[in-house]
Chain A
């Protein structure tokens, strides 16, 4: 997917969206706080809003050009949206919702088989139901299926996960990734959640004040925002359960063992760990109350606000810790140093 947008759109009041970017990729994120212009961007790409001037080109096809008087209506753009709160048609069954776009898609574009989509999204048992008898997660799965079955060349995920709790979020993320890869549908994932953007995209447009501020990777974006973020940089740790010991759970993380309070009996899990919850020692601390002591190598340091981010390598895994500038100077932290990272067992937050 390649999308270029050089457009401006002014709204009554003072907000103006002005962009000039080209982005290519299959899993692209658009990140920004609310009011930054993300939803306007969605409307412009889908054809629900008309720019004042400029040009929008998707995969070589011109969707909008003010000079040449081109403005494809939404139904001809083949750009489907999954909204925040599913927006299923309340008067139709699940099956009729799913087929709404499919039936309207010209035969030459129909590449997705209904049956295989239903099985990928595990919608089999829901088809005959009315949409008002679905749970939040089921609704969003149906909305995703409905959009994919329209055989779009681009899927716009407009804050599609924001209304779901963490467990459902991960479930939908899993389905979205599977479906997007299996049916080769690129998506633009719009969100104000850095975590979602990191889990779902490999590059990201950062938006603010109606402008695209930059194009970067989610990892880079997360590091840049570490210093100003309330929660620091969130490390995502994929772990495997080993055993239970006392009140703690023991997980394998790469070549290390981690002691975690908030574990459970699932075999695999993902934990969040804030960069702020990691304390660094340059020498082995003899006695600490924290249950996790990891010997790491400093790979890199980077400034972020008034903090210094420290990229650590523990075995084959990477951790980001943060220290204030003075601490970095006092400890003389620099690349290739060996340090000890100390983490309390209660600092891990379970994601799934």
Chain B
């Protein structure tokens, strides 16, 4: 019976760390973006919508390549990053960024679903009871979007766990540093006797995905009932 080696273990921990960080970082932005799209009308709405959803249809490799061009040593944002003393490329932070961009549309989708199901008069009621719009956002819209926030987070977490294309370009495949579960499986698949180890990691990936999707499913059901 094949067991997990310590490098596999590192890959699992790193995957979880990257996915968790990407999800938590994206949450406030996802919430604000969903709020903007649900409750406001403005000119550039369609354009913004397309831009945010682009990673859903774009090959992740393209995303990764664009990120590399932007954040690399001579990239578009290099002066800014140098000034801040931050190095992103080929670190786990780059993997976080790649995961965040690719998973963001999934996160937003669930939050918007929850926000759209909020009865507008609840917000009106809060306003006439003395709440300003920020107060209303925090005390009515946020708690009533809770289900969507958790559902979206779980979906985004699962997607981030599986991120490969963008990650391998922008973060590389460095054992212990940026080698996540999918990258490790890719390595094993390319080596002559790596099949058992690859399979073990596959089982781990499937188990994590099933767990997350179960959580997501039960939450969306709850949301649908409310609607």
Cβ-based interface call for A133 (8 A) = no
Chain-B contact segment, one of A56-64, A87-95, A203-211: A87-95
Q: List, in ascending order, chain B residues with CB within 8 A of A74's CB.
A: 124, 127-128
Contact with A along B110-149 (1 / 0, CB 8 A): 0000000001011011111111110100011001101000
Q: Which A residues are in CB contact (< 8 Å) with B126?
A: 89, 100
With CB as the reference atom, state the residue of chain B lying closest to A99: B129
Question: Which range holds the interface residue count of chain B?
Answer: 10 to 19
A residues near B121, Cβ cutoff 8 Å? 83, 87
In the complex, A101→B140 CA distance in Å? 13
Q: How far is the CA of A146 from the CA of B132 in the complex (A)?
A: 17
Question: Is there an interface contact between A81 and B144, defined as CB atoms closer than 8 Å?
Answer: no
Q: Interface digits, A248-277 against B, CB 8 Å rule (1 contact, 0 not)?
A: 000000000000000000000000000000
Interface contact B128-A46, CB-CB below 8 Å: yes
| B44–chain A nearest beta-carbon distance, Å | 22
Residues in A with CB closer than 8 Å to B130 are: 75, 78, 101, 104-105, 150
A147 touches B144 (CB 8 A): no
Task: Flag whether A48 is at the interface (Cβ < 8 A).
Answer: yes
Q: How far is the CA of A320 from the CA of B113 in the complex (A)?
A: 55
Check A87 against B122 for contact (C-beta < 8 Å). yes
Specify which chain B residues have a CB less than 8 angstroms from the CB of A105 in the assembled complex: 130
Complex alpha-carbon distance, A75 and B131, angstroms: 6
- Kindly state the separation between the CA atoms of A105 and B146 in the bound complex, as whole angstroms: 27
Check A104/B143 contact, CB under 8 A, given A81-B124, A87-B119, A87-B122. Answer: no
Across the interface, do B125 and A81 meet the contact criterion of CB distance under 8 Å?
yes
Minimum Cβ distance to chain B for residue A71 (Å): 13
Expressed in whole angstroms, the Cα–Cα distance for A27 and B25 within the complex equals 53
In angstroms, Cα B119 to Cα A202, docked, is 33
Q: Does A79 contact B (CB under 8 A)?
A: yes
Determine the residue in chain B with the shortest Cβ distance to A78.
B130
Given A91-B143, A91-B144, A104-B135, residue A79 in contact with residue B122 (CB < 8 A)? no
Chain A residues whose CB sits within 8 angstroms of the CB of B131 once the complex forms: 75, 100, 104
- Most-contacted residue by chain A among B119, B124, B130, B140 (CB, 10 A): B130
B144 touches A150 (CB 8 A): no
Q: Smallest Cβ distance from B226 to chain A, in angstroms?
A: 8
Give the nearest-CB partner of A80 in chain B: B128
Contacts of A81 in B (CB 8 A): 124-125, 128
Query: Are B132 and A75 in contact, with the CB atoms below 8 A?
Result: yes
Kindly list chain A residues whose C-beta atoms are within 8 Å of the C-beta of B143. 91
Minimum CB distance partner of A79 in chain B: B128
Contacts of A91 in B (CB 8 A): 143-144, 146
Q: Which residues of B contact A285 (CB under 8 A)?
A: none
Q: By the criterion CB–CB under 8 Å, are B132 and A80 in contact?
A: no
| One of A46, A89, A101, A104 near B122 (C-beta < 8 A) | A89
Selected from A48, A89, A90, the residue in CB contact (under 8 A) with B128 is: A48
Q: How far is the CA of A277 from the CA of B39 in the complex (A)?
A: 53
Chain B nearest CB, measured from A79 CB (Å):
6
Q: Which of A79, A83, A90 contacts B144 (CB 8 A)?
A: A90
Most A CB within 10 A of own CB, among B131, B133, B135: B131
Is there contact, CB below 8 Å, between B127 and A75?
A: yes
Known: A75-B127, A91-B144; 20 extra A-B contacts, CB below 8 A, are A47-B127, A47-B128, A73-B127, A73-B133, A74-B128, A75-B129, A75-B130, A75-B131, A77-B128, A80-B129, A81-B125, A81-B128, A87-B122, A89-B140, A91-B146, A100-B131, A100-B139, A101-B129, A104-B135, A147-B129
**A residues neighboring B (CB under 8 Å):** 46-48, 73-75, 77-81, 83, 87, 89-91, 100-101, 104-105, 146-147, 150
**Could you jot down 22 A-B contacts, CB within 8 Å?**
A46-B127, A47-B127, A47-B128, A73-B132, A74-B124, A74-B127, A75-B128, A75-B129, A75-B131, A75-B135, A79-B128, A80-B128, A80-B129, A81-B124, A81-B128, A89-B122, A100-B139, A101-B130, A104-B131, A104-B135, A105-B130, A147-B129
